[in-house]
Amino acid sequence: MPLWKHALLTLLASACVWAHADTITGKVVGVADGDTITVLDDAKRQHKIRLSGIDAPEKSQAFGQQSKESLSDLVFAKTVVVETDKIDRYGRRVGKIWIKGIDANLEQIKRGMAWHYKQYAREQSEEDQREYAEAEDEAREAKRGLWKDVEPVAPWEFRRRQ
């Protein structure tokens, strides 16, 4: 393939992944797992949202169900505000979930129900990078949630092994 075609395809693929900054306000009508929710906005449109900056255990993984329940307790059937500026390769919006002034993404880490997803940390503000990393360290030291496990397996490692 000529270099210019490859460059054009790369540019188009990037444009498909990144969307304009957006704010979605709506009710959480579904919690798929510890880092994915469905929000119903006022226009009755559903938005699948992947929580940014975190990666929660897979459903079939240790603490997967507890992580889902934690997120559900935090946001299900409640009104949230989603700050989003990206669409992932699965068509989900990626964003930060706010509920009554609480960063739900960060809360999942604090509860020991998710890892700080450092692979995507560059997409976060410096403040969020610092807060999420510190929250993970604190949860690990306190042995909260998944950190109770002797050797917790990060979700990206679990997926790679499957």
CATH pick for 20-161 out of 2.30.110.10, 3.90.1170.50, 2.40.50.90, 3.40.1380.10 = 2.40.50.90
Res 85: pLDDT: 92
Q: What is the pLDDT of residue 6?
A: 42
Tokens of 119: 């692979």
Confidence (pLDDT) at 53: 98
Q: Which of 50, 93, 107, 111 is catalytic?
A: 50
pLDDT digits (tens, 9 = 90+) for 45-73: 999 999 999 999 999 999 999 999 999 99
- How close are the terminal C-alpha atoms of the chain, in Å? 33
Which pLDDT score, from 0 to 100, does residue 21 have?
Answer: 83
One-letter amino acid at 53 equals G
Catalytic (active site) residue 50: yes
Give Cβ neighbours of residue 66 (< 8 Å, ≥ 6 apart): 113, 145, 146
Query: Of residues 45, 92, 131, 141, which has the active-site annotation?
Result: 92
Among residues 45, 58, 127, 161, which one is catalytic?
A: 58
> Which residues, given as ranges, of the chain have pLDDT below 70?
1-20
The values of phi and psi at residue 45, to 5°, are -95, 135
Measure the CA–CA gap between 4 and 9, rounded to whole angstroms: 9
Residue 58 annotated to the active site: yes
Domain boundaries, the chain: 20-161
Residue 39's pLDDT is: 98
